[in-house]
Structure 1
Amino acid sequence: MSIDKIQQGDSLTQSKDLVADNIEKLKQLFPEIVTEGKIDFKVLQDVLGEDIEEEDEYYRLTWAGKAKARREAHKPSTGTLRPVKEDSVNWDTTENLYIEGDNLEVLKLLQKSYAGKVKMIYIDPPYNTGKDFVYKDNYKDNLKNYQEITGQLDEEGNKISTNSDSDGRYHSNWLNMMYPRLRLARNLLKDNGIIFISIDDVEVGNLRAIGNEIFGNDNFISNMVWQKNYSPRNDAKYFSDMHDHILVFAKNKDKFERILLPRTAEQNARYTNRDNDPRGDWKAENLSVKTYSAAYDYPITTPGGRVVNPPKGRCWRTSKEKMEELDKDNRIWWGEDGNNVPSKKSFLSEVQQGRVPTTLLFRNEVGDNQEAAKRIVELFDGKPFDTPKPIGLIKHFLSISTDKNDLVLDFFAGSSTTADSLFQKNLEDNGHRKFIQIQLPEPTNKKSEGFRTGYNNVSEISKERIRRAAKKIAEEHPEKAEKLDLGFKVFKLDNSNIKGWDGNPDKLEANLWDAVSNIKEDRTQEDVLYEILLKYGLDLTLPIEEKTIEGKIVFNVGFGALFICLGDNLTNTVAEGIGEWKEELEPEICRVIFKDTGFTDVEKTNSIQTLKRFGIGEIKSI
């Protein structure tokens, strides 16, 4: 009897293989295209018939590097996310995540655990103005590229840099950055999910084009225009830039249901109850219309005895019989003395209970750049970040697209406006929305206020803003704060905790010794624990309980769904303890993972039999 060992290349040692996943879906849809386990594209073309585009010239967007960018979105990552408890707040209870790392690699790592779980995405990516950086991906080894850029390995390789318009591939560089990230982000959205993307005029056309390709033309919802500035700039060369765009796409437009905004006090003030109608407040509506119909042109006698006709060239909105029915139901207003031209009573309780969102976002409704800067200064007593968005803008998106328990993602987190806004929205409606924030540790400019005040990279500013926003809520609303999740778990992108066989014959002896323990020496049991969760497709915020059995640490994930023990010199007593713990919890499914070198052969065999006796059939080792 043996334990299934997780090998390098197994699904648990890399992120989700999207290519293999899509091929399997093709096989299920068209089984006839499979020949000896491979796809026969000639047969696929025959099956699809006239829906194949074979002309050289047709409508499409292409650029230098598009094919590589498309392939990159489907290439698995061998990285992992390591927990950083010292940077976190309320580690044991929070369901919010802050992930520091290259968002391309992180999005790949989230594919198993969070596919189809995110309700709303908001991103504020680099606008490609020539002043902001565009992260240039290394398609050979993106994880190593990230480590070089952040100084984890050495100073060779690609660097964070601006994407100058003098670069021959100015737009291509930006598209190559955005395309694979949006493809991966789409996978994370729920079927009724939605994405909001801020952009300005430089790349709005290209962003709309790749958005149409990735999400589908039919799933485009809107190009919102946000008034970002309060006053024009007199030094503008041509026109003063007063707006940004927010492009909105749905995962599936037919399934997305927008939420109405609350009615304003001004709207409701138009309704009164002048006759004490038990149905509540109402307002009078004109009963005549311009579209003339002789059948609807008739005299009406008011309760006071006056005969009235519709204005010249108009007629009544309804038939004489229907008018009499409305009057009997006290839905006609004849004026205080009963002699006015009739009006229809429209009751507040019967009208649409909210406002339809519009594509124009005015600064007095959702905030502007000045308000965003004021919020940063309010939290930091300074301005360590130069380009935040106002919380009113993100709260607006949360209001029209999320319910109280939804998950929200921002993979260009910046100063963490999204997390701050989500806290504020939950404070307003007692919600339990959760966030995932992803931010590259982009170095702060040495001339910036952020650097001068001790923040070496954007991630440090971003995390500190969340802490300060949470603290402010706790101080100003202590009773409500007790019911809110104001914490966050921090993870950092790194290479796998599991050693890989490099296949170099010159290092044969070293590799053989490494095989004795395939977990890297500088990694903790918790590092490995979270890599297992990630590669198993489990939520990183699942409840984890820790217990010591026979001197060995055992992790219980998700109330007994998974037990993990990574200790050495394990005995059957540990397996016995896990089995008893499992019986206490009574999970629907139960899996156990050990370290491969943790047992002697005899103890391994006995432990397997013990676990099977407790109904645990899935036992693996790393």
Structure 2
Amino acid sequence: MEKIDNKSLDIKKCNIEKLKELFPNVVTEGKINFDVLRTILGDEVDDSNEKYQFTWKGKNKAIKIAQTPSSTTFRPDKESSKYWDTTENLYIEGDNLEVLKQLQKTYFGKVKMIYIDPPYNTGSDFIYKDDFKDSIENYKNQTKQFMSSNPETNGRYHTDWLNMMYPRLLLSKNLLMKNGVIFISINDKEQSNLKKICDEIFGENSFITTIHVELSTTQGMKIKAAQNGNIVKNAEYILVYSKDGHKNIVSHLLYDSRPDYDEHYNKIIINDKLILLKDYVKSKIEKEFLNESLDGLYKKSKIFKKIIENNLNVIVADDKVTGLNIEDFECGKIYSIERNDKKYLIINNGKKLRQLLRLSESYGKCDDFKASFGLRKIRGDWWKEFYLDMGNVSKEGNMVFSNGKKPVRLIKQIIQMCTDENDIVLDFFSGSSTTAHAVIQLNKEDNKNRKFIMVQLPELCDGKSSEYKNICEIGKERIRYVGDEIKQEWLKENKGEGLFADEQKEFPFDIGFKVFKLDSTNIRPWDNENEMDEDTLFDSVDIFKEGRSKEDILYEIMLKYGIFDMPANEIDVNGKTMYRVGKRYMIVCLEDDITNEDIQAIANLSPKTVVFKESGFNNDNDKINAVYNLEKAGVEDIKCI
């Protein structure tokens, strides 16, 4: 019975296999003959001592770190999760370098979009200190203390930042689909260096653009700075790269709508009651223009434009009422009638009959004629007026968090532009989970089912600016809050009427998330950082570490097999507790005293793969018989740990 491979994806081995596939004649006794490869590539090989390149101290080590397999694992944390049994979203606590390695087997080539807002290297933000060896202990040491900054007086100021970013971007490229896109926020401290390493990793031809985001205006101290002769910086940047050089990354044209009534930061208090300004404006518009004809409303293009921008389903008037008698309608009362396959509202205002129409029914869908009112389609690289969001951005999601947050509206715009149904969105510097917030909200708005993977190091909070222990606690609480808020909004919008008022429709959106925490392997012999001699190994009663549960083992097996995205559930098999992964993909049996009856019961479930704990068999004969009987029953893959 073969053993499970205990490492993450060996990227170096994969690259060599790709090279062998492309050029089989460069392989000599299983090794790459670089002299032959040079001959094949001919003039494309640059042997000169002087060549155009971007390098720094530690670059080769950074590449090697990315290619070094890891034996770490993800341990499930159901208590911190939400809707564990049904959700497809992930929240992973841990060093993103190690996490990205472990995601390779399952998510290689599956992620449609990556957005990251990494440390800008301003001198005060934290730069990850990576260790060349398996860095789980390094990671644990980092999370036990407040994070140290990277001051500009540091002699390796840019070098440390590049060594942190390079391996993470190398690993992230593997996760992107062929038509995948990565967006990276940055300021001008490291923008030029980021552009150079992204050109290397993704290829110069894969560069799409640098989006300029207007996140501030010349106000306050900035005006003073400008008066002193300084040029005020009002924009930050988002570098955009595609996976394989494709340029057509936009799947949905967006309109450059102004955030005048954005519900996330524009709220007002009326009579001690919190009201969304958008709803207030909507009711005000309805009241003000109830007696306005469609043509008259159309002429008031400024207010009509705001209606369109906010997709307000405003009721307006149309005087074209024919074939009806005013005497048939009580004054002041609104009647609903159906004419020409449309529903109309009729009101007798005491002088004449007026016909009321919903704007969407009279002028069609808003998207069909937005351009008529000067709304620009987003095609360019200058994204204006996001400074309007920045006033209350630290409170979006009801989580006060001041460190480098981006507006939800900005991230929504990026996600909407290039993703569609069932696409996966990854953020491995997730901070307060703005990206998860944007995914959930956008799914509700356009009725899609995007999934997210959030990765965040549990950096300790200083206790002064937050009531939470670490940033992960802030991020998880934000996702819970946003999900609950959106669910309540949806239930209000979709409540039953009349006799069916108490009936609730099934909520269609995934607002849950599974929490996993990075940790050392659950399997003693697999732990690189705990040396075990032969005596220690045989003295161990169990190969599983103390304090590790069967579910911990289950998810480590799924991770190593590359099926971490499959559903898993506990089942009873012949009186023993086992786990089923996928419909019929895998059965995991971690029980002791495995009998022939157990094997037959497993075979009856027709799995493709079965995994046992090797010590679960009483002797070698039982193990050999199990393999024989399972193979006879059609099981393709039988492994043990």
TM over 0.5: yes
Q: 1:101 aligns with which of 91, 94, 97?
A: 94
Task: Please say if residues 119 and 406 of structure 1, whose CA atoms lie closer than 8 Å, have aligned partners that are also in contact.
Answer: yes
User: Is 1:75 paired with 2:68?
Assistant: yes
Unaligned runs of 5+ in 2: 259-293, 296-367, 495-504
Q: 2:478 aligns with which of 465, 468, 474?
A: 465
Matches within 5 A, 1:96-175: 96-151=89-144, 160-175=147-162
- Residue 513 and residue 216 in structure 1: after superposition, are their counterparts in 2 closer, same or farther (change >3 A)? same
Deviation for aligned residue 1:477: 1.7
Distance 1:549 1:620 in 2: 18
Distance 2:394 2:92 in 1: 24
Deviates more, 1:414-423 or 1:518-527: 518-527
Q: Hey, what does 1:368 align to over in structure 2? A: 389
- Residue 213 and residue 264 in structure 1: after superposition, are their counterparts in 2 closer, same or farther (change >3 A)? closer
Deviates more, 1:384-393 or 1:561-570: 384-393
Distance 2:71 2:30 in 1: 25
Task: Please say if residues 385 and 461 of structure 1, whose CA atoms lie closer than 8 Å, have aligned partners that are also in contact.
Answer: no
Q: Hey, what does 2:310 align to over in structure 1? A: none
Q: Hey, what does 1:17 align to over in structure 2? A: 10
Deviation for aligned residue 1:619: 0.9
Task: Please say if residues 525 and 532 of structure 2, whose CA atoms lie closer than 8 Å, have aligned partners that are also in contact.
Answer: no
Distance 1:384 1:525 in 2: 37
4+ long deviations beyond 4 Å: 262-266, 351-354, 501-507
Distance 2:520 2:447 in 1: 39
Distance 2:570 2:530 in 1: 39
Matches within 5 A, 1:569-608: 569-582=593-606, 590-601=608-619, 602-608=621-627
**Which AA in structure 1 matches 2:175?**
L
**Which AA in structure 2 matches 1:511?**
L
- Residue 547 and residue 506 in structure 1: after superposition, are their counterparts in 2 closer, same or farther (change >3 A)? closer
User: Is 1:420 paired with 2:437?
Assistant: yes
Matches within 5 A, 1:213-228: 213-228=200-215
Distance 1:443 1:433 in 2: 30
- Residue 385 and residue 465 in structure 1: after superposition, are their counterparts in 2 closer, same or farther (change >3 A)? farther
**Which AA in structure 1 matches 2:615?**
T
Question: How far does the alpha carbon of each residue in 1:144-173 deviate from its partner, in whole angstroms, 9 at most, with x for none?
Answer: 21022223xxx8xxx831001100010000
Q: Hey, what does 1:563 align to over in structure 2? A: 587
Task: Please say if residues 473 and 481 of structure 1, whose CA atoms lie closer than 8 Å, have aligned partners that are also in contact.
Answer: no
Distance 1:414 1:613 in 2: 51
Question: How far does the alpha carbon of each residue in 1:191-221 deviate from its partner, in whole angstroms, 9 at most, with x for none?
Answer: 0000000000101000011011110000100
Deviation for aligned residue 1:421: 0.3
**Which AA in structure 1 matches 2:233?**
D
Matches within 5 A, 1:485-496: 485-496=510-521
**1:593 partner SS:** strand
- Residue 228 and residue 47 in structure 1: after superposition, are their counterparts in 2 closer, same or farther (change >3 A)? same
Q: 1:513 aligns with which of 515, 533, 539?
A: 539
Question: How far does the alpha carbon of each residue in 1:382-407 deviate from its partner, in whole angstroms, 9 at most, with x for none?
Answer: x2443211110001001111012100
User: Is 1:209 paired with 2:222?
Assistant: no
User: Is 1:193 paired with 2:180?
Assistant: yes
- Residue 539 and residue 256 in structure 1: after superposition, are their counterparts in 2 closer, same or farther (change >3 A)? farther
Deviation for aligned residue 1:231: 4.7
User: Is 1:440 paired with 2:464?
Assistant: no
Q: Hey, what does 1:612 align to over in structure 2? A: 631
User: Is 1:5 paired with 2:27?
Assistant: no
Matches within 5 A, 1:196-595: 196-234=183-221, 236=225, 238-254=230-246, 256-262=248-254, 355-363=377-385, 368-376=389-397, 379-380=398-399, 383-446=400-463, 448-450=464-466, 453=467, 455-478=468-491, 479=494, 482-500=507-525, 507-514=533-540, 517-540=542-565, 542-582=566-606, 590-595=608-613
Unaligned runs of 5+ in 1: 7-11, 267-271, 274-347
Deviation for aligned residue 1:371: 4.1
User: Is 1:183 paired with 2:175?
Assistant: no
**Which AA in structure 2 matches 1:23?**
I
Question: How far does the alpha carbon of each residue in 1:33-60 deviate from its partner, in whole angstroms, 9 at most, with x for none?
Answer: 2222211212211121111111222221
**1:510 partner SS:** helix
Task: Please say if residues 194 and 248 of structure 1, whose CA atoms lie closer than 8 Å, have aligned partners that are also in contact.
Answer: yes
Task: Please say if residues 395 and 401 of structure 2, whose CA atoms lie closer than 8 Å, have aligned partners that are also in contact.
Answer: no
Task: Please say if residues 194 and 256 of structure 1, whose CA atoms lie closer than 8 Å, have aligned partners that are also in contact.
Answer: no
Task: Please say if residues 572 and 604 of structure 1, whose CA atoms lie closer than 8 Å, have aligned partners that are also in contact.
Answer: no
Q: Hey, what does 1:30 align to over in structure 2? A: 23
Deviation for aligned residue 1:70: 1.2
Deviation for aligned residue 1:239: 3.3
Deviation for aligned residue 1:437: 0.3
Question: How far does the alpha carbon of each residue in 1:91-122 deviate from its partner, in whole angstroms, 9 at most, with x for none?
Answer: 01000000000000000000110010000000
- Residue 143 and residue 481 in structure 1: after superposition, are their counterparts in 2 closer, same or farther (change >3 A)? farther
**Which AA in structure 2 matches 1:249?**
Y
Distance 1:46 1:532 in 2: 43
Deviation for aligned residue 1:611: 1.8
Task: Please say if residues 227 and 368 of structure 1, whose CA atoms lie closer than 8 Å, have aligned partners that are also in contact.
Answer: no
Question: How far does the alpha carbon of each residue in 1:511-565 deviate from its partner, in whole angstroms, 9 at most, with x for none?
Answer: 2222x5322122111111111111111133x222321223321111110111111
**2:444 partner SS:** helix
Distance 2:41 2:532 in 1: 51
Deviates more, 1:54-63 or 1:203-212: 54-63
**2:182 partner SS:** strand
Distance 2:234 2:389 in 1: 10
**Which AA in structure 2 matches 1:16?**
L
**1:521 partner SS:** coil
Identical aligned pairs, as a percentage?
A: 45
Distance 1:484 1:217 in 2: 38
Task: Please say if residues 394 and 401 of structure 2, whose CA atoms lie closer than 8 Å, have aligned partners that are also in contact.
Answer: no
Distance 1:66 1:445 in 2: 33
Distance 1:538 1:263 in 2: 39
**1:110 partner SS:** helix
Deviation for aligned residue 1:178: 0.4
Task: Please say if residues 229 and 368 of structure 1, whose CA atoms lie closer than 8 Å, have aligned partners that are also in contact.
Answer: no
Alignment: residue pair count: 514
**2:172 partner SS:** helix
Task: Please say if residues 459 and 472 of structure 2, whose CA atoms lie closer than 8 Å, have aligned partners that are also in contact.
Answer: yes
Q: Hey, what does 2:501 align to over in structure 1? A: none
Distance 1:209 1:90 in 2: 42
**Which AA in structure 2 matches 1:102?**
D
Task: Please say if residues 233 and 240 of structure 1, whose CA atoms lie closer than 8 Å, have aligned partners that are also in contact.
Answer: no
Deviation for aligned residue 1:600: 1.5
Question: How far does the alpha carbon of each residue in 1:272-330 deviate from its partner, in whole angstroms, 9 at most, with x for none?
Answer: 99xxxxxxxxxxxxxxxxxxxxxxxxxxxxxxxxxxxxxxxxxxxxxxxxxxxxxxxxx
**1:533 partner SS:** helix
Task: Please say if residues 577 and 589 of structure 2, whose CA atoms lie closer than 8 Å, have aligned partners that are also in contact.
Answer: yes
Task: Please say if residues 206 and 247 of structure 2, whose CA atoms lie closer than 8 Å, have aligned partners that are also in contact.
Answer: no
Distance 1:194 1:410 in 2: 12
Distance 2:117 2:476 in 1: 17
Distance 1:142 1:533 in 2: 21
